[in-house]
Amino acid sequence: MVMAINFDQVGFTYQPNTPFATPGLHDVSFEIPEGKFTAVIGHTGSGKSTMVQHLDGLVLPTTGKVTMGNQVVTAETKLKELNEMRAHIGLVFQFPEAQLFEQTVLKDVMFGPKNFGASEEDAQAAAEAALKKVAISPDLYERSPFELSGGQMRRVAIAGVIAMAPDLLILDEPTAGLDPQGQRELMTLFTDLQKERQITVVLITHQMEYVAQYADHVVVFEHGTVVKSGAPATIFADEEWLHEKQLDVPAAKQFADALAEKGIQLHNVLDIDQLADQLAARLNGEVDHV
């Protein structure tokens, strides 16, 4: 299934036509390229999470339209179409362990595939494969998910989404609250999955390191709308603009900028490898002609 996504003049209002109506999104137009890793950044409350709910048809745009592959979603889209669409989309919410409810780990992971029509055997096979991916050992399959450690619960919840074999995987700050090692493991899992299955991944994050390291494309939200999108190098090039938007710069770039102030100019540094490569060249006395 093709999963290129396009937002066209999308507006969204919470509780429209009530005294509590509040605008969520306005004039949102952007694209998420198919089969790529897209990062969505912006302040808390900038509209990122509201946008994500549109991606899975959890809310419908009040105005404008969202095109997802062949499916066009507008204010009038029917529930049935949304249900069909959802079968191809995986959504990992913030603190996804809050969605666990089944008696056993295995059953919980099978829940999604079964809802979307998989047979018992297929669902079990998908669940076992997904659990293997997130490194949950088989002796935990029959345990209650509530007996697991926080990190394990998180991975089981993520397995529950992966088991649906989504073409589009949306991750809303999936590593929040984990320790550094847990964070590393999860991010590796997601990038491997993206490469292996060539799926479209949308990552919402505050961590610019992830953006620099993994993203092919970046979308920046502010005050309920998209203010910039492009390749990470483009986004992080305009330091002043980032500062104005109170967005962080990846550590490697910060470091390169500190060197630049001392008169050592490096080029296109976003991650630590690029930084180390160029510095090593300089330290070995190779003159940079670029």
Partner 1 sequence: MTPIISLSHVTYAYPNSDVPALRDLSLTINKGEWVAIIGHNGSGKSTFAKLLNYLLAPDEGEITVNDVVATEENMWTIRDMVGMVFQNPDNQFVGATVADDVAFGMENRGVPRDEMITRVDAALEEVQMMPFADREPARLSGGQKQRVAIASVLALQPKILILDEATAMLDPTGRREMIALVHELKAHMGDDLTVISITHDIDEAASADRVMVINDGELVETGLPAEVFANADQLRRFGLAVPFAEQLKEQLRLRGIEVPNEYLTTEGLVTWLWQSISTK
Partner 2 sequence: MFSNMIIGRYMPGDSWIHRLDARTKLVLSIAFIFVVFFANNVIGYALAGAFTLLAIMMTGLGVGVFLRGLRPLVLLMLITTLLQLFFVQTGDVLVHWAFIKITTDGVINSVIVFVRFMLIIMFSTILTLTTQPLAVADGMESLLKPFKKFGLPVSELALMLSIALRFVPTLMDEAQSIMNAQRARGVRFNEGSLMARIKSFVPLLIPLFVNAIKRAIELGDAMEARGYRGGDQRTKYRVLTWHTRDTIAIIGFVIFTVALIATRWIM
Binding site for partner 1 (CB under 8 A): 43-45, 149-151, 176-182, 206-207, 246, 248, 251-252, 254-255, 258-259, 262-264, 272-273, 275-277, 279-280, 282-285
Q: Which residue lies nearer to partner 2 by CB, 146 or 288?
A: 146
Q: How far is the CB of 96 from partner 2 (least distance, A)?
A: 7
Give the integer Cα–Cα distance in Å for 221 and 65: 18
Q: Which residue lies nearer to partner 1 by CB, 91 or 247?
A: 247
Give the integer Cα–Cα distance in Å for 232 and 285: 30
Contact string 22-41 vs partner 2 (x = CB under 8 A): --------------------
Tokens, residue 138: 């088989």
Residue type, 209: E
Q: How far is the CB of 92 from partner 1 (least distance, A)?
A: 17
| C-alpha torsion 258→243→229→77, nearest 10 | 140
Among 153, 198, 197, residue whose Cα is nearest residue 174 = 153
Q: Does residue 61 touch partner 2 according to CB under 8 A?
A: no
Tokens, residue 275: 């930084």
Residues 6 or more apart from 95 whose CB is under 8 A from it? Answer: 154, 176, 177
Q: How far is the CB of 146 from partner 2 (least distance, A)?
A: 6
Among 32, 60, 161, 201, binds partner 2 (CB under 8 A): 161
Q: Which residue lies nearer to partner 2 by CB, 89 or 266?
A: 89
Q: Which residue lies nearer to partner 1 by CB, 61 or 250?
A: 250
Residue 89 three-state SS: strand
Tokens, residue 122: 């297929």
How many Cα atoms within 13 Å fall on the side-chain side of residue 179? 5
Q: Which residue lies nearer to partner 2 by CB, 114 or 217?
A: 114
Q: Are the C-beta atoms of residues 209 and 273 closer than 8 Å to each other? A: no
Q: Scan for tokens 């409350």, then name that residue.
A: 45
Instruction: Pick the stretch among 2-10, 108-116, 188-196, 219-227 that binds partner 2 (CB under 8 A).
Output: 108-116
Give the integer Cα–Cα distance in Å for 252 and 60: 39
Interface of this chain with partner 2, residues 242 to 261, rule: CB under 8 A: none
174 binds, among partner 2, partner 1, none (CB under 5 to 8 A by kind): none
Give the integer Cα–Cα distance in Å for 44 and 28: 17
Q: What is the largest CA-CA distance in the chain?
A: 68
Q: Does residue 115 touch partner 2 according to CB under 8 A?
A: yes
Residues 6 or more apart from 148 whose CB is under 8 A from it? Answer: 105, 140, 156
Q: How far is the CB of 206 from partner 1 (least distance, A)?
A: 5
Q: Does residue 87 touch partner 2 according to CB under 8 A?
A: yes
Residues at the contact surface with partner 2, assessed by CB under 8 A: 14-15, 18-20, 53, 56, 58, 79, 83, 86-87, 89-91, 93-94, 96, 98-101, 111-112, 114-116, 146, 160-161, 164
